[in-house]
Amino acid sequence: MAESADHRDTPGAPGTGAATGGARRRTSDESDDAASRAFRELLRGLRVWDTELPTFDPAQAPAAPLPLFRQWLREAAEAGVPEPHTMTLATADAAGDPSVRTLMLHDADERGWHFATHRGSRKGRELAARPRAALGFYWAAVGRQIRIRGSVTAASAEESAADLHRRSPGALAAALVGRQSEVLGSTDELARASDAAWERARREPDAPVPSWTLYVLRAEEVEFFQGDARRRHVRLNYRLTGGGWEQELLWP
């Protein structure tokens, strides 16, 4: 929403006398209030679980979470959820301060959930210091959320390179740009680096990107949440114990 010109007015600016300054501040405060009200109304008008959603019977769930995860991702894709393979990755720094960001899921198999990034990025540095992470998926069209937590290991350089070179030229070009999470001097600098990276990716489809690393999160806990229009959401949590996967229902 466009901000009013009054909003940019500052007390003491040229031509702003004490009397008019007060009046302008009032106008500015009023427009801030109106914008805040409109924003709150927008939020209150938005809905969740306001559509026909699938049912989920936890009694029929498989003994391990992986087959159910794959089934739910397939069903999200079939329901038209855009980019259902994108997820939130949470890590924490050495002081315990958390960060989240969106990443692409590259695979989910018996080893765990695979994703890739630069080792020197913030998340790469955090994973090096504390190799624990959580993943979150939310697919609104089917009212489903999945939460996964566990330990993370970096795959070998060979496996990381193979994973990268299986992907699109755009993915290689993006990886070749490098310096992820460093402070960028200007957008021109990025444009030059990106043009060079695209050109190199075209010329050299196997170009190495040593910092690009495949990570595998080995799940210790996986929770499936099925939203329900009457708010009787179903939460099924899998926990890995010495004896294998145990299941428990959670209050919503």
Ligand X SMILES: Cc1cc2nc3c(=O)[nH]c(=O)nc-3n(C[C@H](O)[C@H](O)[C@H](O)COP(=O)(O)O)c2cc1C
Min dist CB 120 to ligand X, Å, is 9
Distance (Å, rounded) from C-alpha 150 to C-alpha 86?
Answer: 18
Min dist CB 121 to ligand X, Å, is 3
Min dist CB 54 to ligand X, Å, is 24
Pick 123 or 144: Cβ nearer ligand X: 123
Contact 173, 233 (CB under 8 A): no
Pick 35 or 104: Cβ nearer ligand X: 104
**117 counts as binding ligand X under rule CB under 6 A:** yes
Number of residues that bind ligand X (CB under 6 A): 14
**103 counts as binding ligand X under rule CB under 6 A:** yes
| Residue whose C-alpha is closest to residue 175's, from 217, 123, 109, 117 | 117
**233 counts as binding ligand X under rule CB under 6 A:** no
Min dist CB 127 to ligand X, Å, is 9
Take residue 52 and report the two structure tokens written for it. 């026909």
Region of 27-35, 113-121, 225-233, 244-252 interacting with ligand X (CB under 6 A): 113-121
| Residue whose C-alpha is closest to residue 134's, from 99, 94, 90 | 90
**181 counts as binding ligand X under rule CB under 6 A:** yes
**123 counts as binding ligand X under rule CB under 6 A:** yes
Strand ranges, E, within the chain: 86-92, 98-104, 107-109, 112-118, 132-139, 144-154, 212-226, 234-241, 244-249
Q: Which residue has the tokens 């070749």?
A: 176
- Binder of ligand X out of 24, 85, 119, 122 (CB under 6 A): 122
Q: For residue 238, is it left (φ>0), alpha (ψ between -120 and 50) or beta?
A: beta
Helices (H) and strands (E) in the chain, counts: 6, 9
**156 counts as binding ligand X under rule CB under 6 A:** no
Residues that bind ligand X (CB under 6 A): 86, 99, 101-104, 115-117, 121-123, 180-181
